[in-house]
Amino acid sequence: MADTNEVLALFGGPKAVQTDVGDIIDWPIVTDEDEQAILDVLHRKAMSGMDVTKLFEEEFAAWQGTEYALGFSTGTAALQAAMFGCGVGVGDEIICQSLTYWASCLQVYSLGATVVFSEVDPDTLCMDPADIEARITEHTKAIMVVHYVGHPADMDPIMEIARAHDIKVIEDVSHAQGGMYKGKKVGTFGDVAAMSLMSGKSLAIGEAGILVTDNLEIYERGIALGHYGRFNTDIQTPSLQPHIGLPMGGYKYRMHQMSSAMGRVQLRHYDERCAEIQKAMNHFWDLLEDVPGIKPHRPAKDSGSTMGGWYAARGLYRPEEVGGLSATRFCQAVSAEGVSCSAGINKPLHLHPLFNTTDVYGHGKPTRIANADRDLRQPVGSLPVTELMPKRCYSIPWFKHYDEQIIGEHAMAYRKAAENYESLLEDDPGDAEGMGGWHFFSHG
Ligand SMILES: *Cc1c(COP(=O)(O)O)cnc(C)c1O
């Protein structure tokens, strides 16, 4: 294996990564079992049915540890239903971190509500509990907590604040299925959780989303929004009963049964496959614990918290430890070693026109403030920690299998670049303003 005294590949030295990576990054793992389950749906012409979806929901609820699970066509829809389930409506506000994918919060517009963004903790990249309380107003209906790029959010203080103010908590688990916070599964802390199960995510079943809750009214409101086939006389919530038979929201959000069939198979293998991902990813970070400039993005080992599936895994960058070397230059050197590494992370949402100027529904003013009692927009500089994060993060490989040789070579690429930072300072182009992406995670 290469050692760090070798010349950087960027300057003509040998690449740290020499071994063919094979299928170590491939995801999801699809076998005959998935194929047979999907073919069964196809042959029975049951694509639009609900029998397989209901079985998937039962199994998912048992795995998640919640009373109810409701399947959706997408995670976007499931999260919108979670908001509707919590009673988010015209003039209401939700609090969400700005550092996330748009589908954690943008759906509030469709409910006549809006979003107030809060800061992240720079080590977890999840909502900073210390930055919530001051943002609560009489209009705040819910806090949307994102377990961002696999890391569990700090749920104890968040739940305490929410309970003290009688506000609902929604968890967006799209990045962290199966992750633990202090020994308990993420998605079981808030009033409701919802998540994407699309094929780029760690629990990947096609195109789908799911809502999980112990709360019957939230579950039934989730049905009311977009599941007319199930919005029937079983509904117990009195305020919904006059409307049964048609979806109140005007949407149709049924899960495709080829996805639910694949979901049943994927779920059966998920814990075992995740355990191997955990082992591989933790080994990668164990090899880099002492390296200047780079810091693992994962919970402390003895905390009872884990990363779940390590979706879109990132590393934390500390330029002050490497002479101010930019993340961009660091990633150039890592990539030259044979690992595809990119600097950045999601661009903060509060800076996008959709959250500042765009009039989506023709209110004659920006939708963000169309139903608000004040101008709650957040200009450049208003969330300084969040705005810095794209320069403080970089991608790392998402290993699905434990292979010491391959993982060791990849870790060496990061170590070599960081330990030889001095040689990289000279031609450092610096980080571009506005780096990162609003649709950062592309799914091919
Ligand atoms: C992917 C994603 C969603 C939306 O899920 P879809 O299934 O793509 O609609 C929501 N929130 C986060 C954080 C995501 O990454």
Per-residue pLDDT of the chain (444 residues; tens, 9 = 90+): 556 778 999 999 999 999 999 999 999 999 999 999 999 999 999 999 999 999 999 999 999 999 999 999 999 999 999 999 999 999 999 999 999 999 999 999 999 999 999 999 999 999 999 999 999 999 999 999 999 999 999 999 999 999 999 999 999 999 999 999 999 999 999 999 999 999 999 999 999 999 999 999 999 999 999 999 899 999 999 999 999 989 899 999 999 999 999 999 999 999 999 999 999 999 999 999 999 999 999 999 999 999 989 999 999 999 999 999 999 999 999 999 999 999 999 999 999 999 999 999 999 999 999 999 999 999 999 999 999 999 999 999 999 999 999 999 999 999 999 999 999 999 999 998 878 776 654 433
Q: Counting atoms of ligand 1 from 1, which one is nearest the CA of 312?
A: 15
309 in contact with ligand 1, CB cutoff 6 A? no
- Does the CA dihedral 299-300-306-312 come out positive or negative? positive
CA of 425 relative to ligand 1 center, distance in Å = 37
Residue 71 Cα, ligand 1 centroid: separation in angstroms? Answer: 14
Q: What distance in angstroms lies between residue 205's CA and the mean position of ligand 1's atoms?
A: 13
User: Ligand 1: does its nearest atom lie under 6 Å from the Cβ of 76?
Assistant: yes
> Quick check: 38 and 245 in contact, CB under 8 A?
no
For residues 320 and 312, give the distance between their C-alpha atoms in angstroms, rounded to a whole number: 25
Distance 101 CA to ligand 1 centre (A): 7
Neighbours of 279 (CB within 10 A): 14
Quote the CA–CA distance of 368 and 112 in Å, as a whole number: 9
Mutate to test the pocket of ligand 1, among 106, 174, 195, 443 (most ligand atoms within 8 A of CB): 174
Q: What is the pLDDT of residue 6?
A: 86
Counting atoms of ligand 1 from 1, which one is nearest the CA of 200? 1
- Alpha helix ranges (H) inside 20-147: 32-43, 51-64, 75-85
Residue to mutate, 108, 195, 259, 311, ligand 1, most ligand atoms under 8 Å from C-beta: 195
- 291, with CB counted inside 10 A (0-12, 13-18, 19+), is buried
Res 443: pLDDT: 38
CA dihedral 273, 274, 280, 283 (to 10 degrees): -150
User: Which atom of ligand 1 is least distant from the CA of 201?
Assistant: 1
C-alpha of residue 310 to centroid of ligand 1, in Å: 15
Nearest CA to ligand 1 atom 10: 103
Instruction: Give CA torsion, residues 286, 292, 297, 300, to 10 deg.
Output: 60
Whether omega for the bond prior to residue 28 falls within 30 degrees of 0, making it cis, is: yes
Of residues 336, 342, 343, the one with CA closest to residue 417? 336
Query: How far is ligand 1, taken at its centre, from the CA of residue 193, in Å?
Result: 13
Paired residues of 184 in beta bridges: 181
Q: Is 172 in the pocket of ligand 1 (CB under 6 A)?
A: yes
Strand partners, 192: 170, 213
CA distances from 398 to 121, 274, 323, 344 (A): 23, 12, 28, 16
Q: Does residue 73 have its Cβ closer than 6 Å to ligand 1?
A: no
Instruction: Assign domain 32-265 to a CATH class.
Output: alpha beta
How far does residue 127's CA lie from ligand 1's centre (Å)?
17
| Residue among 406, 369, 301 at smallest CA distance from 93 | 369
Does ligand 1 lie within 6 Å of residue 103's CB atom? Answer: yes
Q: Which atom of ligand 1 is nearest the CA belonging to 146?
A: 13
Q: Is the CB of 273 under 6 A from ligand 1?
A: no
104 CB near ligand 1 (under 6 Å) = yes
Q: Which of 345, 350, 367, 347 minimizes the C-alpha distance to 358?
A: 367
Q: Is 100 in the pocket of ligand 1 (CB under 6 A)?
A: yes
Cβ(74) – ligand 1 distance below 6 Å: yes
- Output the CA 431–ligand 1 centroid distance in Å: 27
Burial of 217 (0-12, 13-18, 19+ CB in 10 A): middle
147 lines ligand 1 (CB under 6 A): no
Cα dihedral sign for 217, 231, 249, 170? positive
